[in-house]
Amino acid sequence: METEFTRLQRDLDRFDRRTRALGAAGLAVAVLVAVLFAGARQAVSQPESLSGRTVALVDDAGRQRIVLGSDTGNRPGIWLRDEGGKDRVWFGFGAPRGTPQLSLNDETGRTRLAAGFSVERGDAQMAMFDPAGTPRAYLGFGVQLRTPQLVLDDEHGKDRIYAGWTQDGATILHLVDESGTVVWRAPAPGTSTGGANPGTNRKSGGP
């Protein structure tokens, strides 16, 4: 038969377990409240915006790899740099019209591909350059017709292949030699293309 002492001992054990459970729950609530309070204080103390002239992200060696700032013309831009500190990618605004421009550079920092908008009409265009910086390919829109055109140049920057439209809207393809003479064309000579000269239409300025 259970004695009075045994019942008392069992009740004390049950009370002790309840007390420890309540204490643990209270501690958890207190920790949660403290974390929320600290987060609220931090959120209030943080500014709504970050202002400055330049923001730079550096690698483990302390080298600037991504720079957000302005160029010498006070135009905003983003520069991505390689381990040698050369600008390999630039995205910003062009000088003439303030339109978006993108440049991809080689390991020497020379621009090899530029994409943006023409200075005359604001049409999209892209230019490719060789290691010497000479333009070798152009894809864009004609200045007058604003129709797509492709121009491929030799190492001297002279147009050697042209595909596009004449002023009268006829499609043409010209192959040109070093002297600038058309040696092959489509449509063939004698075929009516409106008699227009494509040279008045191609290669707008920029990007």
Mean pLDDT of each 10-residue bin along the chain, 207 residues long: 54 53 52 55 61 88 93 89 95 81 95 90 91 95 83 94 84 92 83 46 51
Look at residue 41 and tell me if it is in a domain: yes
pLDDT value at residue 201: 43
- Whether 127 maps to a domain, the answer reads yes
Ramachandran sector of residue 51 (left: φ over 0; alpha: ψ -120 to 50; beta: rest)? beta
In this structure, which amino acid lies at residue 52? G
User: What pTM value is reported for the model?
Assistant: 0.66
The boundaries of the domain holding residue 140 are 118-207
| Residue 173: inside a domain | yes
Torsion 15-16-19-25 (CA) sign: negative
Amino acid at the residue 127: A
DSSP character for 188? P
DSSP, collapsed to helix, strand or coil, labels residue 132 as coil
pLDDT at 75: 87
Residue with tokens 């390919």: 137
Residue 37 lies in a domain: yes
Question: CB of 39 within 8 A of CB of 53?
Answer: no
- Evaluate whether residue 59 is within a structural domain: no
Instruction: State the pLDDT at residue 6.
Output: 58
Q: What's the confidence (pLDDT) of residue 18?
A: 52
- Domain for residue 144, yes or no? yes
Neighbours of 70 (CB within 10 A): 13
**Whole-number pLDDT of residue 11:** 54
- Confidence (pLDDT) at 161: 95
* Together in a domain, 126 and 41: no
Domain end residue (candidates: 27, 46, 65): 46
Please give the tally of structural domains in the chain.
2
For residue 53, what pLDDT is reported?
84
Quickly count: other Cβ atoms within 10 Å of residue 123's Cβ.
18
Q: Does residue 196 belong to any structural domain of this protein?
A: yes
| 41, 124: one domain | no
What is the CATH classification number for the domain harbouring 201?
Answer: 3.90.930.1
Q: Is 123 found in the same domain as 42?
A: no
Q: 174 pairs with which residues across the strands?
A: 162, 185
